[in-house]
Amino acid sequence: MTTNIEQTPDIKLSIKQTFGIDSDMEVDAFSKSSEYVPEIDKNYKLENSINWEIAIVKEIDQFQTKIETVDKLSGLIKYNEISWTKKEFEDLLKVGDLIYVKKVKDNFYSLKQLPKINGGIVVMDPYTGRVLALSGGFSFKSSEFNRATQALRQPGSAFKPFVYALALENKYTPSSLVLDAPLVLDQGVDLKKWKPENYGKKFYGPSTLRTGIEKSRNLMTVRIAQELGIDKIINFSKKLNIYENPDELMSVSLGSAETTLLKITSAYCSFLNGGKLVNPILIDRIQDSEGKTIFNNEKRYCENCDLISYDGTSNPIINNKYQQIFSPQTAYQITSMLKGVIERGTGKGLRDLKLELAGKTGTTNKNTDTWFIGFTSNLVVGVYIGYDNPGSLGKFETGSKTAMPVFKEFIKKTANTFNARPFKVADNINMMVIDAKTGKKANPKTKLAIIESFKKNDNKLDNISNNFDSRLNTTNILKFY
């Protein structure tokens, strides 16, 4: 896992400090002794999958450093391989220092360091809940803390799709207009007023629900939460097992309550599987020594398998016992909107993959935690990046810059146009070409037309009306003025 974040190099694992050796001569003697390699491996060796080696610094000059690995192989580190540190060799290293290196080619190596920033990734099957892959950090040998299952962090904007899903369940449509303008809220007696802001501190006026999620507009989300009621949002998040007992604060709609990467990735599975709740499954089943199943996590069952002959023409019907949290129509509408995040919004850095993708970025206050939860038609992938002791990653380090590249690298290696197929449209969904900016029915003057999805029971005359006032919530205008 790599990031583009500038870090202060902390790579000096000195033999002198580690083993209590005083002089350079003793260092050289120790490096040739039989105790050298076992002690080094015991203290510093990482997993073989990382493909790093431990080396001792032998000689330093201005443009290169001579090293020797624990396997007694000599090598060189060229100046260009330390350019990322923005320092000179003599400022970084001393003879006798132990360092991590990675072979580039032949006897040339690049300098490496243990990252201060860490993270996790979870890959799930959205239809069964099976956890297909999970990594809780850079190296288990350097830290056994699992950031995918144990780290409680604020999801930030990665929580917003659930607010919008609840809105769609409560008579909103993707083209409903919500006011994006300044908002000040009371937080209670003796507490300062809360003034949420958009990233970039700009306001864009009345915008469609789709635009709100594509551009990750905070003010629109808070206004929707006001209209729905924070109690509904809290209960909805509990049903999806995102939160357990969060405080009933309006900021929860912006992802201020804490959860784990595994929990929120599991909740995103509901957008793909038609609004059903799946629990993460790490163990499929357990059998005893005689092959008898004593534990089974399978929640699906074949309804008519006993009645079907192996050479017949009938197909088995596979049903499941998953709880329905929201409608399949809402699930598809949110999937379509999250696909728009990739096409026009904060996830547009994935467009060059030319795959059917959907997802949402997440960034918390002061860029402390960054997220990207994305999916293809058969995989859901969640990524979290942050410090173990929460702190700012940097002024411009957002979910799209730090977490999304990890998702992109994973998808490059696992998905293609065959298994990343178009998302399945739910029953009772109508498609209509609309103006992406206004939400009105498209006309010859429309600059950006998109295909929008509506539920069949939506009154399209109201939702795609040329009458602006019929789609703008007047309560929000009164609150603004």
- The owner of tokens 């379509």 is 336
Amino acid at 454: F
- Specify the 3-state DSSP secondary structure of 337: helix
Phi, psi of 276 (to 5 degrees): -100, 150
* Segment among 93-97, 162-166, 442-446 with least mean pLDDT: 442-446
Decide: residue 429, CB within 10 A, 0-12 exposed, 13-18 middle, 19+ buried: middle
Q: In the prediction, which pLDDT does 478 show?
A: 40
281 and 294 Cβ atoms separated by less than 8 Å: no
Predicted local confidence at residue 31, as pLDDT? 54
Handedness of CA 212, 217, 221, 223 (dihedral sign): negative
Q: Give the tokens for residue 66.
A: 């001579």
Q: pLDDT value at position 21?
A: 57
Proportion of the chain above pLDDT 70, given as a percent: 86
Residue 181 has pLDDT above 70, yes or no: yes
Q: Is the pLDDT of residue 10 over 50?
A: no
Confidence class for position 12, pLDDT limits 50, 70, 90 = very low
Runs of H (alpha helix) within 77-147: 89-92
> Would the pLDDT of 155 be above 90?
yes
Q: Could you read off the pLDDT of 72-86 as tens digits, one per residue?
A: 899 999 999 999 999
Q: Is the model's pLDDT at 429 over the cut of 80?
A: yes
Mean pLDDT for the chain overall: 86
Judge whether 407 and 372 are in contact, CB under 8 Å. Answer: yes
| Mean of pLDDT values over 36-45 | 69
At 35 the pLDDT is 53
State the average pLDDT over residues 356-375: 95
- To the nearest whole percent, how much of the chain has pLDDT over 90? 63
Separation CA 102–CA 86 (nearest Å): 19
Q: Reduce the DSSP state of residue 161 to 3 states and report it.
A: helix
What does the alpha-carbon distance between residue 4 and residue 11 come to, in Å, rounded to a whole number?
18
**Res. 335: pLDDT tops 70:** yes
pLDDT higher than 60, residue 164: yes
pLDDT of residue 27: 57
Angle formed at CA 223 by CA 217 and CA 228, multiple of 5 degrees: 125
Mean pLDDT for 327-342 is: 96
| CA-based end-to-end distance of the chain | 48
Residue of 40 and 249 predicted with greater confidence: 249
| pLDDT, greater one: 6 or 422 | 422
- Each residue's pLDDT tens digit, 196-230: 999 888 999 999 999 999 999 999 999 999 999 99
Burial class (CB in 10 A: 0-12, 13-18, 19+), 48: exposed
Tens of pLDDT, residues 107-146: 999 999 999 999 999 999 999 999 999 999 999 988 899 9
The DSSP 8-state label assigned to residue 157 in this structure reads G
Higher pLDDT, 20 or 475: 20
pLDDT at position 465 is 44
pLDDT, position 305 = 79
Read off the pLDDT of each residue in 231-259 and give the average, rounded to a whole number: 94
Name the helix (H) or strand (E) containing 343.
Answer: helix 328-344
Q: For the segment 387-419, what is each residue's pLDDT rounded down to a tens digit?
A: 999 999 998 899 999 999 999 999 999 988 788
257 touches 247 (CB < 8 A): yes
For 317-323, what is the mean pLDDT? Answer: 84
Q: Evaluate if residue 375 carries a pLDDT over 90.
A: yes
Residue 149 reports pLDDT greater than 90: yes
pLDDT-derived band at 321 (thresholds 50, 70, 90) equals: confident
pLDDT score at 13: 45
Most confidently modeled of 66-70, 258-262, 464-468? 258-262
Cα distance between residue 112 and residue 82, in whole Å? 9
Phi, psi of 31, rounded to the nearest 5 degrees: -65, -20
- Is residue 468 pLDDT above 90, yes or no? no
Q: Which residues pair with 60 in a beta bridge?
A: 65
Residue 300 has pLDDT above 50, yes or no: yes
